[in-house]
Structure 1
Amino acid sequence: MRHLTLLLLCLFWGGVSVSAADSDSDQTASSADETAIRAAIDSYKTAFDKGDAKAVAAHWTSTGEFVTPAGETLTGHDALAKSFTEYFKTTPNVKIELDSVGIQFISPGVAVEEGVARVLAPDKEPDVTEYVAVHVKTPSGWKLDSVKETEVVVPQTHYEQLKPLEWMIGTWIDASDDSTIETVCRWTKNNNFITRSFKVHIEDRVQMEGTQIIGWDPDKQTIRSWLFDSEGGFGVGMWSQKGNQWTIRTLQVLANGEKASGINIMTKVDENTFKFRSLGREVDGILLPGVDEITVVRQP
């Protein structure tokens, strides 16, 4: 047991007692090797853009593998050259772009490249894939030993339908002598929804807060919203647009179970100002006074 402990200590101290000269030498070698790998990547792109199948295949080792986005595995120069020859024949004038290329050294003779490949062909949508490539150092330079590509799944988004409301993104303030309403609007991931979080401040305390979620209803082919407040009430809204004016017809269930409805009207004045008013307000069939037009301004 004592021998094992001494061995571990020796390995530990040996691992951290590298001289500055050795460290500088390793860093210089890594820098030179990364430069060489990036030159090989540029050479690959040049061969691909020229449609030169043999030159593309030559960037692999003799036993190198390429796993295509379809899951097919190609091994060796002959299989690679044949596949790329057929591809360039059926897809002429194709070009490749590489984005977010990162290189990490696993050992002095092995490096992993990760990035995004975008293949551009005339009159076609770009094919976008993520890839992982393993480079190995050989007597004839750095070569690809394996490459695996996977298709990038483009998430569904309703951004185009919600884009007319993009001006709402930001922080807005409606202030009076005794109260302030602060509203913060944000996109959710993939721009599928807009969230509006609001707080009602009376003097120095928060009287009420809530969240409204605005999204596109693909079934009704309209913009809808869902509202939840801190008092336990919730509601829905149907949005329609006419010019710079939005009309939101709302139905709500209050915390005590009463049902409410109304029509809210938002009018965009400019990028930093909109006006709001509410009319036709009812609670359990009892008509309530409307809310006179107020001006809401964007916070810098």
Structure 2
Amino acid sequence: MIGLIVMGQTIVRAETDDAEKTNSEQTAEDKAAATIKEIGTKYIAAFNKKDAKAVADFWSPEAVYTDEVTGEQFVGRKAIADLFTRLFESDNDSKLDIDVQSIDFLSPNIAIERGAALYSSDPHATIPYSAIYIRRDGQWLLDRVTDKEPVVAEKESSSLEPLAWMIGTWTDQSDGVTVDTVCDWTSNKNFISRKFHVAIDGEDDVMGLQLIGWDANAKRIKSWTFDSDGGHSQANWSQGKDEGSWYAVKSGVTGDGRRVSAVNVITPVDDNTFKLKAMQRSVDGKMLPSTPEVTVVKQ
């Protein structure tokens, strides 16, 4: 009997110790998660101030950033700082917000955060991401971040009618460059066909075809573009929350094999005019300045 009592006390004590240990570990993880969320808030502030150095300081010296859409990788804090420097130079207006969906701990010093990023330049799309944090010398740092393909929220409709205003012949001219575009429905109205012709100083330069359609699987408007130089791209389209500007988030390859990406912003002004500009442009990972906004007129 005494043996059973002693054994019972030992079991109870062991269970109590295990429970206290579990609670202690849980408390430590909760504190670490709160710290990581606070770091995320400071990261957003540095990004929105366009402070590339401050943003890069949140990353470990050997960190890796991967963009799954373009396939590009940037390795090391310096490369990441250079990336943000170019990004901020090309797009100084876009603001970042982050929705943290989960933080899981692989060990006391390694955590993986999952969530979605939202940029004001494309308010209808969210970019799912995963971020691995490591704790080094008591400080949590970003070590691996992967951005996935944007998820675009579309209206529950398969119709292209919201883009019907594009049908017609359009021209824009700037700095010796003339772009003529003819837009028309395909026979069954499942696609909008856009044939474009670019002339520089009166000489033919590039011709191409773009098809805009509804992707029933992804439930979004998409486009596919092919040009006479052999380049091709595709884009996800979404309309701003105010139902004004359209945002076409594109990625593709030039005729000579370079990877390109951009956000084209199309803003209708009236029945015969719209504005067009390209933001967040990159070629083989090198950020380029946004293009000046041009006015496109219906003929």
Q: TM-score range by the shorter chain?
A: 0.3 to 0.5
Q: Please, what TM-score do these two structures have when normalized by structure 2?
A: 0.46
Bigger radius of gyration: 1
